[in-house]
Every structure is written in C-alpha cells, then in structure tokens.
Structure 1
Amino acid sequence: MGAWLDSITSWLSANPSWLGAAIFLIAFVECLAIAGIIVPGTVALFAVAALAGSGILELSEALLLGFLGGLLGDFVSYFLGRRFHQNIRRLPGLRHHPEWIGGAEAYFQRYGIASLLVGRFIGPLRPMLPMVAGMFDMPLVRFAGVSLIAAAGWSVAYILPGWATGAAIRLPLPENFWPQAAVVGVALAILLGVAVQSSTRQKRYATRLIAATCFILLGAVFLGWPYLADFDQGLMTLVQASRSEAAENYAVMITGLGDFRTQFCAAALLAILLLLTRQYRHAIFAVGTTLGAAVVNQSMKYTFARARPEVLAEPLTTYSMPSGHASASFALFMTLAVLAGRSQPVRLRLTWLLLGGIPALAIAMSRVYLGVHWPTDVLAGMMLAFFTCSASLAFVQNKQSLPALPIRVWWLILPAMVALLGGFALHSFGHGLIRYQY
C-alpha cells in the first residue's frame, strides 16, 4: 500500500494539473458502494489533500472537489440500490461478504435518515448506506437533501486536515509553533479521552467529569494564551494563506450564522418549540447551555480585555477572548447534538457530537479567516460552550437521565432550525455584510 501511494503522489507532484481530478476521483471511490470498503481511500485522500495544500490548489477548490466526488459516489450507490434492490446481494464481493451490506441494512432500518448523516463518518458504513437507502426506495428528494449536508461535512472533515498539513509544511511558521500546537493537541486529546472513557464505561458521574475537565481546560486557555503566541501567529498564517476572493462571500455567510441576532433567534426558537411540545427538561437544558454560554462569554471578555488581531485595515476596538461566535455556535449545535443522541449507543452519541461540531467549527474558524479573532479566542469559546453544555446536562440529569425527544418533536425542530439558519445565511451572503460587533 505504501509503495502504491508513493507512486501516485510522486506522479501527481510531477503532473500537478491532474491533482484536482485525483481528489475528485478518490472521493468518489471512497463513497462508492463496495469499492469504498476495498480501496484505502481515506489515506489516499489525506495524501493528495496534503499535496494540494503545498500550494497547488486553493482550500476552497479542494473542498469543492471532495464534496462533488463524494456526492457523485453517493448518488451512484443510491441508484445501484434502486435498480437492483435485493439482487444487489449477488454482486461480486457481497456474495462472499454479506456482512458488509447486512450491517448497513440493520443500521439504516434502526436509524433511518439519521444513519445517512452519522454513518458518513463510520468507515465500513459510509459507502454502503446510500445503496441500502436505494434498496429500501427512500424518496430521491429526501435522499438528495440529506446527502448534500452529509457530503459537505464529510468533505471538510476529510480534506481540511490534509490540506492544512501540506500548507503548514510549505509556509514559514514561527519557531515554536509545532511544540505549542502539540500542547493544544494533547489537551484536546485528554478531553476526548475523558469523554469517551467515562461514557463507554457508563459512569454515573461521566457528565460531571467532562464538565470539570472542560472547566480546567478553559482556565488553562485563559491563563496560558500569552504563552501560545507562536501557535496563534502560526495558525493565523495558515488560515490567511487560504484566503481568496472567491471564498470571501462564503466566509461572510458562514460567520453570519454566528452573529448574536442569529444565535439568539435560533436558541429562542429551539426553547419555544421544546416548551410548546412540553419537553420541559430538554428546554431547561437548551436554555442553560445557550444562555449560560452567552452570559459567561460577556463576563470573561471584560475580565480579560484581550485586544483583537490587527489583520483588518481598521481593527475592531471590542475585546477578543473568548470568541462570542465560537461559544454561541458550539453551544447551539452541541445542544442539538446531545438531544439527537439521547437513548442511543455511546458510539452514535459521540458521532452526533462530531457532526454538531462541524458547522460550529466552520463558524468559529471563519472568525480567524476574517482576521477578527485569534485561534486561542476560538479555543476558549469552544471550551466555554463544552463546559456550559456538560454542566447544564449534568444539572437536568441530577436525578433522572434525559430521555430521547419524540420523533414528532424533531419534525418540528429540524425544518424550523434549517429555515431560520438558512434565511440568515442567505441574507448575509446576499448583502455581503460582516457583523463583527459580537
């Protein structure tokens, strides 16, 4: 496998004009039924994305090509399922490995539409679920809507790390960038390890332990940011290197989703819908997370009074740490992810949290892209949201576990949230207005 991958990357280095086609093709194969299980597409995708980040392709181009390739793989798999139905089991590969389709079939029957979102990030299930959706005659419009969202998140999660690695090797970064980045990475790994271990072992104090860990890491960011100057400067350099005129309006649209007005309306809508459907404990959790993040954020801004980056021609005079966009967006999407994962297996709950983190991270990084926040501002906002989310959940689960929301409630929440956030996004994109005041 190593020799095969080396030969591909060597050839692409000598023929960079084919790199875009390679990203598209590998993403397509990675998401294509049966082929996605056999071909080690994840490793190859990281390698070619790193090559793209070395200065051959812009980040926006690499993400778009990965998105389109993955989307095409989804649709080809879907139509294979619609065309052959149960006869698909006779295809080479599936005859000898019936467990490939059996696992995806059981997963789809259990979780329905949600399986297409969550299963996108579970290797063996990713290429098989679209085909299973076609086998069960899922309506094309419904499949297309879910696949568009899943493919977009998948492209960011699988292309961005490789591209950033390639860009980091190419660009002149501060001397201590990598050691400081390693410290940040270890801290996040500790948080992930605490969350996974305490959850998988079903400890009663798991949520409180996660809240305590987030609180300690939040304090560490506030006390340690002066010692992470090279990390801030280096990551800011990486993000600014990916700027392009074509991506500017999209960054404005994404950052608009984190504005105070947008997040306030989204949080208020969620709370109102939960109250109207008499999901009182869920409403307390949602309000505790979103309102708590907003109140603590403003208090910390004035307590630490950190100046913003001087990237803009006219830098903002408001304080920088923690990022209000980061704390508000992570609080909202983590709330939705926690509610979606209630009464589900641990691995699925963690996957929901990963899915919720993708749009929140996009909003948070748009602030660094636009030059109005340092990376540690975003990190502090994220830790703040994690803390308020886990603390609020621990509070409402003090005596009894929070149950799953009924499906009928989700059919109210999801369309309402998509319509609200989509409306604000289109407004920001259409007018090209960047709201930096928060």
Structure 2
Amino acid sequence: MSDWLGVWALWLEAHPQWLGLAIWLVACTECLAIAGLLMPGTVLLFALAVLAGSGVLTLWQTLLLAFLGGFAGDLLSYLLGRWQHQSIRRLPYLREHPQWLAAAEKYFQRYGVISLLVGRFIGPLRPLLPMVAGMLDMPFVRFVLVSLLASAGWSVAYLLPGWSAGAALRLPLPPGFWLQAAVVFSAIAVLIGLAVQGSLRGMRRISQLAAGLSLLVLCALLLGWPRLAALDHGLLELLQSARSEHLDRWLVLVTGMGDSRVQLVAGALLLALLLCFRQRREAVFAVACLGLTALLVSLLKNLLERPRPQVLLEPLHSFSLPSGHSSASFVFFLVLGVLAGRGQPPRWRITWLLLAGLPAVAIASSRVYLGVHWPTDVLAGGLLAGAVCAACLALVQHRESLPPLPARLWWLLLPLLLLLFTVYGLWHLPAAMALYQR
C-alpha cells in the first residue's frame, strides 16, 4: 500500500492539474458510507494537502475542495440510507460486521443532531452516521444544514495542517525555525498526551495535573518568547503567504467570534441560562473561568508590554502577549466542552473537549493570519485558558463531580450562540475588513 501511495503522490506532483480533483474525490470517499471504512483517507488527505501547499493550490482552494467533497460524501450516504432503509443491513461488509452499524445507530439515537457534528471527527463513525440519519428519516433540510457546518470544520481540521506543512517546506524560513517549532509543539503535544492518558486511566487528580502542566509550559513560553523569534516570524510569514481576498473575508468573520464584546455577551448568555436552570455550581465554574482569565490577560499584557507585528496599515496600539482573542475564545469553548462532557465516559469527555477546542483554534489562527498577533501570543492565550479552566474545575469538583446539564439547556444555548456569532460577524464585516486590510 505504501509503495502505491508513493507512486500516486509522485504522479500528482508531476500532473498538478489533477490535484484538485484528487482532493475532492478522496474527501468524498472518506465520508462515503462503507467506502470510508476501507480507505486510509486521513493519510491520503494529508499527503494531498502537503502537495497543494507546495505551491499548487492556495489555502482557500484546498479547503473549499475538501469541504465540497466531504459534503458530497455525506449527501450520497444520506440518500443511500433514505433509499434502502433497513435493507442497509444486508449490504456488503455491513452484513459481515453488524456491530459497525449498530454502534452508529445507537450513537445517533442517543445524541441526534449533535452526533453528526461530533461523529465527523471519529473515524469509524464518520462514513456511517449520515447513512443512519437517512435510514432513520432525519429531515433533509436539517441534515443539510448540520452537514454543511460539520464539513466546514472537518475540512479545516484535516487539510490545514498538511497544507501548512507543504507551504513551510516551500518558503525560505528563518534559521532555527524547525528546531524552535519542534521544541514548542513537542511540549504542547506532551501536555495534551499526558492529560488524555491520565483521563482515560481515571486519575483522580487529572484536573490538577492538567492545570499544573499547562501553567508550566505557559511560564516557559512567557519567559522564553524573546528567544523564539524564528518561530514567530516563520509562522507569521507562512500564514501571510496564504492570504487572499476570499479567505480574508471568512477569517475576519471567524476572528470576530473572539471579540471582547461578543465573548462578554456569550458569557452572559451562558450564565443566564445556567442560573435559569438552577445550575449554580456550573455557573460558579463558568464565571470563575471567564473572569479569572480576563483578569490575568490584562495583567500579563501590561507587565510584558510586547508590541504587535507591523503588518496592518494602521497597527493596533494595545500590547499583544497573551492574545485576548485567543484566551477568551479558548476559555469559553473549553467551559462548554467541560460542561458537555459531564456524566459521560472519559473518551467522550475528551472528544467533547477536543471538538470544543476547534473553534478556538480557528479564532487563534485567524489572529496570526490577519497579522495582529504573533504565534506565541495565541499559544500563550490558549495555555492560560487551559490552566485556568482545569484549576477551576478541580476546585468546583473538590467534593463532588458536576452532574450533566439538562438537554433543554443545550437546545436553547447552541442556537442562540450561533445566532449571536453570525449576526455580529455580518454586522461588523465591512468595518473589520477595512481594519485588517494589509
């Protein structure tokens, strides 16, 4: 298999005009019922994204092709489920492995719409859940709306790392870039790996461990950022090379989600719903996380006084380390991830946290892309939010774990948050485009 993949990659490199079609086909097959279980789609997509990032396709073209392919795979799987219904159980491979379909059906019946968003990032479930949604007669319009949202997040999460790697190999990066990148990202990988393993093994003080490790890496970053100039300038140059008018418009909308006014309204909305549903301990946890993070960001900015990159025509005058957008978005979405995982097994709690981190990663990356923060600014913001969230969770659960939130609260909160982010982003788009113009 590896030899075949190598030959295929060399052929695509020699015939770049077919690369876009290959990305679409692999993304479609990866999300297609049954076929997605048999193909190493994740490996193929990463390899194709690396080739695209080497100068063949722009970032927005790569993401758009993957998005369209993934959505097409979802739609075909859904239509197959609507057409076949219970006859699906007699299809090849599913007949020999009935546990695959049983697991997907159980997950869909338990979590409904949310299963299509979460399951998109779980390999064995990704190609089966759209088919199960059709088999169980999920309304078509609802499925399309959820699939569009899931496909957008999935394409960014799966294609952006590969494209960035390809672009990094192409650009003349500063000396020392790869060593600094290896040190910083290895430290973050070890932090996440230890936290995940501790959670899976049921460690009693996993929240304290996660808080301590996050604080340790954060302190090292705050003390060592002057020595990470190659990493900062290299990553900033990498993302600036990907800028285009089409992608600018979308990432200005994304970065607006981390604006202090939006985060304040979103936090107030979360707090109001928690109090309305009499979730007092959860409300204390949310307020402590959001308030303490905002206070620490303000103190650190004024203490370190780090200037912003000189990318904008009219540079912002406030200091940049740590990033307020990054810390605010990370702590808010991590709070949502923690609350969503209450009462569930460790692997589902981890899944909810990782999914909750995706919009925060998008907001943080948009700050570097738009040139208003250094990469270490947004990394510090994320580490600060993680340390505060883990510490507050340990304090709130000192005697008793937080119980699951009522399902009705989520059905109110999530649509309201989506409406808030959409309305604010569209309302302020013209002014924001002018501000972030190079």
Question: TM-score per shorter chain, which class?
Answer: over 0.9
Are 2:56 and 1:59 equivalent residues in the alignment? no
Distance in 1 separating the partners of 2:417 and 2:272: 12
Using the TM superposition, give the Cα deviation of residue 113 of structure 1 relative to its aligned residue in structure 2, in angstroms.
2.1
User: For residue 97 of structure 1, what is the aligned residue in structure 2?
Assistant: 97
Equivalent residue letter for 1:79: L
Distance in 2 separating the partners of 1:300 and 1:318: 12
Deviations 1:182-211 (A, max 9, x none): 111211112112211221121221111111
**Root mean square deviation, CA, Å:** 1.4
Equivalent residue letter for 2:169: I
User: For residue 85 of structure 1, what is the aligned residue in structure 2?
Assistant: 85
Equivalent residue letter for 2:39: V
Distance in 1 separating the partners of 2:431 and 2:88: 49
User: For residue 412 of structure 1, what is the aligned residue in structure 2?
Assistant: 412
Using the TM superposition, give the Cα deviation of residue 391 of structure 1 relative to its aligned residue in structure 2, in angstroms.
1.4
Distance in 2 separating the partners of 1:237 and 1:394: 39
Using the TM superposition, give the Cα deviation of residue 109 of structure 1 relative to its aligned residue in structure 2, in angstroms.
2.4
Distance in 2 separating the partners of 1:430 and 1:348: 40
Distance in 2 separating the partners of 1:401 and 1:391: 14
User: For residue 229 of structure 2, what is the aligned residue in structure 1?
Assistant: 229
Distance in 1 separating the partners of 2:338 and 2:140: 29
Are 2:379 and 1:379 equivalent residues in the alignment? yes
User: For residue 426 of structure 2, what is the aligned residue in structure 1?
Assistant: 426
Q: Bigger shift: 7-16 or 268-277?
A: 7-16
Deviations 1:97-118 (A, max 9, x none): 2222122122222322222111
Distance in 2 separating the partners of 1:257 and 1:249: 13
Equivalent residue letter for 2:340: A
Distance in 1 separating the partners of 2:320 and 2:82: 52
Using the TM superposition, give the Cα deviation of residue 435 of structure 1 relative to its aligned residue in structure 2, in angstroms.
6.6
Q: Secondary structure at the match of 1:83?
A: helix
User: For residue 5 of structure 2, what is the aligned residue in structure 1?
Assistant: 5
Are 2:28 and 1:28 equivalent residues in the alignment? yes
Distance in 2 separating the partners of 1:232 and 1:380: 12
Distance in 2 separating the partners of 1:59 and 1:224: 31
Q: After TM superposition, list the pairs within 5 Å mapping 1:83-162 onto structure 2.
A: 83-162=83-162
Equivalent residue letter for 1:49: A
Using the TM superposition, give the Cα deviation of residue 430 of structure 1 relative to its aligned residue in structure 2, in angstroms.
4.7
Equivalent residue letter for 2:308: R
Distance in 2 separating the partners of 1:46 and 1:407: 36
Equivalent residue letter for 1:50: V
Deviations 1:344-381 (A, max 9, x none): 11111111111111111111111111111100000000
Q: Secondary structure at the match of 2:316?
A: coil
Query: How many residue pairs end up in the alignment?
Result: 436
Using the TM superposition, give the Cα deviation of residue 142 of structure 1 relative to its aligned residue in structure 2, in angstroms.
2.2
Q: Secondary structure at the match of 2:361?
A: helix
Distance in 2 separating the partners of 1:135 and 1:424: 37
User: For residue 76 of structure 1, what is the aligned residue in structure 2?
Assistant: 76
Distance in 2 separating the partners of 1:194 and 1:3: 34
Distance in 1 separating the partners of 2:275 and 2:388: 20
Q: After TM superposition, list the pairs within 5 Å mapping 1:31-42 onto structure 2.
A: 31-42=31-42
Q: After TM superposition, list the pairs within 5 Å mapping 1:171-186 onto structure 2.
A: 171-186=171-186
Using the TM superposition, give the Cα deviation of residue 434 of structure 1 relative to its aligned residue in structure 2, in angstroms.
6.4
Q: Secondary structure at the match of 2:132?
A: helix
Deviations 1:9-63 (A, max 9, x none): 2221122112111111100000000000111111111111100000011111111
Q: Bigger shift: 424-433 or 368-377?
A: 424-433
Q: Secondary structure at the match of 1:167?
A: helix
User: For residue 360 of structure 1, what is the aligned residue in structure 2?
Assistant: 360
Q: Bigger shift: 234-243 or 310-319?
A: 310-319
Whether the 8 Å contact between 1:118 and 1:348 is mirrored in structure 2 is no
Whether the 8 Å contact between 1:119 and 1:125 is mirrored in structure 2 is yes
Distance in 2 separating the partners of 1:350 and 1:435: 37
User: For residue 297 of structure 2, what is the aligned residue in structure 1?
Assistant: 297
Equivalent residue letter for 1:395: L
Using the TM superposition, give the Cα deviation of residue 433 of structure 1 relative to its aligned residue in structure 2, in angstroms.
4.6
Distance in 2 separating the partners of 1:337 and 1:183: 28
Deviations 1:235-266 (A, max 9, x none): 11111110112212212111111111111111
User: For residue 241 of structure 2, what is the aligned residue in structure 1?
Assistant: 241
The runs of 5 or more residues in structure 2 that have no matched partner are: none
Whether the 8 Å contact between 1:252 and 1:428 is mirrored in structure 2 is no
User: For residue 329 of structure 1, what is the aligned residue in structure 2?
Assistant: 329
Using the TM superposition, give the Cα deviation of residue 334 of structure 1 relative to its aligned residue in structure 2, in angstroms.
0.8
Distance in 2 separating the partners of 1:109 and 1:370: 41
Equivalent residue letter for 1:336: L
Runs (4+) off by over 3 Å: 430-436
Distance in 2 separating the partners of 1:127 and 1:144: 15
Whether the 8 Å contact between 1:254 and 1:363 is mirrored in structure 2 is yes
Equivalent residue letter for 2:371: G
Say if 1:434 and 1:407 are closer, same or farther in 2 by CA, change over 3 A.
farther
Distance in 2 separating the partners of 1:316 and 1:419: 28
Distance in 2 separating the partners of 1:289 and 1:64: 35
Whether the 8 Å contact between 1:117 and 1:150 is mirrored in structure 2 is yes
Distance in 2 separating the partners of 1:154 and 1:400: 35
Distance in 2 separating the partners of 1:66 and 1:428: 28
Whether the 8 Å contact between 1:249 and 1:432 is mirrored in structure 2 is no
User: For residue 392 of structure 2, what is the aligned residue in structure 1?
Assistant: 392
Whether the 8 Å contact between 1:250 and 1:429 is mirrored in structure 2 is no
Q: Secondary structure at the match of 1:126?
A: coil
